[in-house]
Amino acid sequence: SRRASEKLILEGRVKVNGVVVKELGTKVKGDDAIEVNGTLIERERNKVYYLFYKPRGVISAVKDDKGRRVVTDYFEGEKNRIYPIGRLDYDTSGILLLTNDDGELANLLMHPRYKVDKTYVAKVEGLVQSDDLKRLRKGVKMKDGHYSARAKAKVISSDRAKNHSIVSLTIHEGRNHQVKNMFEAIGHPVMKLKRETYDFLTLKGLTSGQYRELSNEEVKTLYENARKNSKLK
Ligand code: URA
């Protein structure tokens, strides 16, 4: 507690960079060494959360044994040991969150019960019809035998000449290759896939390969929404 800390300081048991400091309210910097009773105390580890615009052709991991590019290659100079929260396929681009938070939020967001909505934009083979959308919305049987949950789906555009469609699909599950498997199940294989939103977060302001830190407010909202969704879905 603050009171107990003040007592330690007044008793001369606290050193900053090797010098006893008895004055209350002395300011320290992040890299100052603080000792209590001769023992160096560890600073609380800061949690960091990043929103990354993952390019296609990058592995959602911190290392790859085949030497391919991994997402953390984009975070040069980052001292924290960050890792991606969930995954995007090698050939999928878009929003990916990374953190060094080895517990709560990452677990919360990855746990099936807590899944928050994610919107994908897919370029798919063929012309997607309203019956196809109905099937996607209701849930389809995927090749892994699982049924997808209810989803939101709409056609953004279709190109008759080139015989492909651009479709937006919002899901809260995250099985392996889920979006690709859903489109395959309705006979419209995915040609290109991008994740555009993750809950309320978007790629606004970023270009492929760039990232930004999440604000405390955004982290707080992610927590709240994840908890809220676990009750609803
Ligand atoms: N669904 C997929 O099929 N691939 C992804 O990368 C993400 C969701």
- Please tell me the predicted confidence (pLDDT) of residue 231: 67
Q: Which residues are catalytic?
A: 89
The token pair at 195 is: 């994740």
pTM here?
0.81
Each residue's pLDDT tens digit, 99-124: 998 677 888 888 777 778 999 999 99
**8 A C-beta contact, residue 86 and residue 110:** yes
Is 54 near ligand 1, meaning CB less than 6 Å away?
Answer: no
Ligand 1 atom with the smallest distance to the CA of 182 is 3
Ligand 1 geometric centre to CA of 46 (Å): 30
Ligand 1 geometric centre to CA of 110 (Å): 14
Residue 107: partners with Cβ closer than 8 Å, 6 or more residues away: none
Each residue's pLDDT tens digit, 28-77: 876 678 899 998 886 656 789 999 999 999 999 999 999 999 999 999 88
Ligand 1 geometric centre to CA of 125 (Å): 16
Ligand 1: residue whose CA is nearest its atom 2: 177
Each residue's pLDDT tens digit, 171-225: 998 899 999 999 999 999 999 999 999 999 999 999 999 999 999 899 999 988 8
**DSSP H helices in the chain:** 2-10, 104-110, 130-138, 178-185, 216-232
